[in-house]
Structure 1
């Protein structure tokens, strides 16, 4: 998570004191990611050292951020393992650093599993379904800001940077997704607050146990199926050291889908539109990576993701037999 905003040590220390988190002893920028400025902050309180994550938001404004932060707090209160935003003496969880919105959350235990097994996929499927159920009574609403309207706005921006083959693919897929969004089955998809970016590097495990989901700053109200499809596209593929594969892995997908459905079974509309949502998830991340790759922002430690990975995933999803995953889900639903 790149460093766009250099936060002075003294300013960070003052915020942490205001949050009653102790005295700052270390402020360390976090590598990876492209949206926000993130630091690990280590504090000392009553002789104990604690580590938190300080985020300075670069694109999201003060009007949008309460949704994300209060959603995290809501989920934490429901027993979903997510970082909980720290409040000051007035109960505020949205703060200001260098004139920009900021938040501090607890650091989750463990590490990300970048080469997941079926066990990891089952744990993610189970917890994702629990998150969807826990969020149904969340009192705030905000659209997925990287949903279909953003795709329609952004495709023309990236088109000049694409080859003829890439341009044809992205135009065709965008037209297809606009068609899907007009279907009655799409209107029947269960909806609510979703994570919308639950990649392998946004989940923590320790000793094989899932310890938490984090990075909720793409969350929004959308279909639960889209959220599941994003996970299937990232977790349930053949992984290589440089993410150059992306082919569907049936065993991993079965593990995640069956665990999800054991908690929240999919309805008929969801079953029919799963292949379309897998394509939607691939389009969304190919498009955002194209945007970041060709229209980058200056940042210390910035490492934009290679967009060709999700181009491969989208091409594979388009070529996948339409009923493959639907039948997979049917088999495991009956088995459960």
Structure 2
């Protein structure tokens, strides 16, 4: 959450008042991500997050905002976009598309344990099922077509061994996408970016309890298995090495499957989708790292992390059978 577009106290106050969200008390820029301008704002009514969209168009944005409203209506703990008197949830501020959502309680858990993974796995499955009757459709904008377009742009910045891996994995993913098993994967609205820092936990009776998913601005219509793979690549790995943590992986998949059992095609393609998830974020981090945009408080992520994760997923494929053998999942 970088700051590309500055918003003054007066501008924010007028904007929030127009949405009947109360009188502005504090305005603080956020530095946690890299796509949009974000501010934490507090009024005399409640805390909110104000977002100005820097890359997404006004045509694309209704999908994300309406998806959040749909999920919130179905009991999924997600930010609920504020509407104006006409019912619109997409607004404009300083010449940019803008939205305001309620700020979730709690904080992100950056060193998750088994129970955190269980809670996120179960809620991810609930989210997928809740989105089945969401009427809007929009492709995952960072899926295979974007990888094919972006890899040639970042290749000149890589060492030969990195370039070889990137090209080989892209070819493999194009091959996977041509298979009937891939075509048969269950699909719907996915978050596509549900990392540790996009989930909140609040302490309830002394126990960390999942309090929300947020930052849906990479969401799209895609295979649910890809969403699961993205999560496993962040929640269930050893960060320094990128290696899979079998106990956390088993807990996550077991909790997910207890809500929405996996199909035979999903079981077959889990290793390939884990590689796809690692590839997607390696490409996007290479793009952000080597072709950065100017922004106040910008913190680009190190792309070598997902290079390590991809190498691990290629060398040591994680299958459901491995998790069964660990007595973590029902056979």
> What stretches of structure 1 move > 6 A for 4+ residues in a row?
none
Match of 1:277 in 2: 273
State the Cα distance separating 1:44 from its structure 2 match.
1.3
Secondary structure, in 3 states, of the residue corresponding to 1:204? strand
**Would the aligned equivalents of 1:16 and 1:23 in 2 still touch at CA under 8 Å?**
yes
Aligned equivalents of 2:329, 2:113: Cα separation in 1: 20
Give me the CA root mean square deviation.
Answer: 1.1
1:40-55 equivalent positions in 2, closer than 5 A? 40-45=40-45, 50-55=46-51
Residue 147 (structure 1) aligned with residue 143 (structure 2): yes
**Would the aligned equivalents of 1:226 and 1:277 in 2 still touch at CA under 8 Å?**
yes
State the Cα distance separating 1:321 from its structure 2 match.
3.7
Match of 1:63 in 2: 59
Aligned equivalents of 2:54, 2:290: Cα separation in 1: 18
The structure 2 residue matched to 1:129, chosen from 125, 129, 133, is 125
Q: Cα gap change, 1:6/1:111 in structure 2, threshold over 3 Å: closer, same or farther?
A: same
**Would the aligned equivalents of 1:81 and 1:211 in 2 still touch at CA under 8 Å?**
yes
State the Cα distance separating 1:326 from its structure 2 match.
4.3
Match of 1:22 in 2: 22
Aligned equivalents of 2:328, 2:171: Cα separation in 1: 32
Q: Which runs of 5+ in 2 are unaligned?
A: none
TM-score under structure 2 length normalisation: 0.96
**Would the aligned equivalents of 2:41 and 2:50 in 1 still touch at CA under 8 Å?**
yes
1:108-123 equivalent positions in 2, closer than 5 A? 108-123=104-119
Match of 1:226 in 2: 226
State the Cα distance separating 1:325 from its structure 2 match.
3.6
1:194-233 equivalent positions in 2, closer than 5 A? 194-207=190-203, 208-233=208-233
State the Cα distance separating 1:18 from its structure 2 match.
1.3
Match of 1:39 in 2: 39
Greater CA drift, 64-73 or 88-97: 88-97
Aligned equivalents of 1:181, 1:327: Cα separation in 2: 24
State the Cα distance separating 1:12 from its structure 2 match.
1.2
Match of 2:182 in 1: 186
**Would the aligned equivalents of 1:258 and 1:329 in 2 still touch at CA under 8 Å?**
no
**Would the aligned equivalents of 1:271 and 1:326 in 2 still touch at CA under 8 Å?**
no
Report how many aligned residue pairs link the two structures.
326
Q: Residue deviations 1:170-218, cap 9 Å, x none?
A: 0000000000000000001000000000000000001210000000000
Q: Cα gap change, 1:280/1:326 in structure 2, threshold over 3 Å: closer, same or farther?
A: farther
Match of 2:79 in 1: 83
The structure 1 residue matched to 2:96, chosen from 96, 100, 121, is 100
Aligned equivalents of 1:211, 1:219: Cα separation in 2: 19
Secondary structure, in 3 states, of the residue corresponding to 2:155? helix
